[in-house]
A = this chain, B = another copy of it.
Amino acid sequence: MYTPPLARLIEQLQKLPGVGPKTAQRLALHILKRSDADAQALAKSIIDAKKQVGFCKVCFHLSAEPVCEICRNQNRENKVICVVADSRDVIALEKTREYKGKYHVLGGVISPMDGIGPEQLNVQSLVQRVNQEKTQEVILAISPSVEGETTTLYVGGLLKPFTKVTRIAFGLPMGGDLEYADEVTLARALEGRRELD
């Protein structure tokens, strides 16, 4: 049905997340319609990103430099570390523009089913960092799944002897409707209630 180079392109595009046969065909035909320069630029950006982007050796966030921009930024609070599972979470938190401290990316969550224990994650380096940098607060910002909770409790337990450990709040999302919230979320929201200022 497809001429071979087109079939191969569609096959490759289908490996991307959320891209099925129809979307892959549409993307492939779009690439063929665009200029040579556009196709070259797309291909080059893939190879360059893969070649140049690694992990920051301090916080393990994605970085093209040995130490990432956030870690190098002198204007950021140095005594607070926000611990997240993935670089994606750093990006999400940065978008809020609320947080001015540093990060530490674990690279996943503890999941014995998938053979991921603390040794597979950047936990050891976090403990070292907290001790060396005399961190005053570690904020755990890990999604509240079963594995996430396990990770939060494990990392929290490890760090408590050395520093103040907090975790982000769980409750009703902004714009969320109390009536439609699930029971666990509501229970968490009740539990995390605060006095009105």
User: Quick one: copies of this chain in the complex?
Assistant: 2
CB distance from A106 to the nearest CB of B (A): 15
List residues of A (20-40) whose CB comes within 8 Å of B's CBs. Answer: 23, 25-32, 34, 36, 38-40
Partner of A9, one of B1, B13, B27, B49: B49
Q: How many Å lie between the Cα of A42 and that of B52 in the bound state? A: 17
Contact of A40 among B8, B31, B47, B65 (CB under 8 A): B47
Which residue of B has the minimal Cβ distance to A97?
B1
Say if the beta carbon of A87 comes within 8 Å of chain B: yes
What separation, in Å, do the CA atoms of A114 and B47 have in the docked complex? 36
Query: Bound state CA distance, A2 and B68, in angstroms?
Result: 10
For the complex formed, measure the closest distance between the CB of A8 and the CB atoms of chain B, giving whole angstroms: 5
Interface of A is mostly: helix
Does A32 lie within 8 Å of B8, measured CB to CB? no
Question: Does residue A16 face the partner (Cβ distance < 8 Å to B)?
Answer: yes
Contact with B along A5-20 (1 / 0, CB 8 A): 1101101110111100
If the complex has contacts A17-B30, A50-B31, A87-B29, are A8 and B45 also in contact, measured as CB distance less than 8 A? Answer: yes
Q: Which of B31, B47, B50, B52 contacts A49 (CB 8 A)?
A: B31
Q: Does B53 contact A12, Cβ atoms closer than 8 Å?
A: no
Given A1-B91, A1-B95, A49:B28 Cβ within 8 A: yes
On chain B, the residues within 8 Å of A30 by CB distance are: 16-17
CA separation between A64 and B6, bound complex, in Å? 8
Q: Is residue A135 contacting chain B, with contact meaning CB distance below 8 A?
A: no
A41 at the interface (CB under 8 A from B): yes
Q: Give the top 3 A-B pairs by smallest Cβ distance, nearest first.
A: A39-B50, A9-B49, A43-B43
**Other 8 A-B pairs with CB < 8 A, given A9-B45, A46-B46:** A3-B62, A6-B64, A8-B48, A11-B45, A17-B26, A18-B23, A25-B88, A31-B49
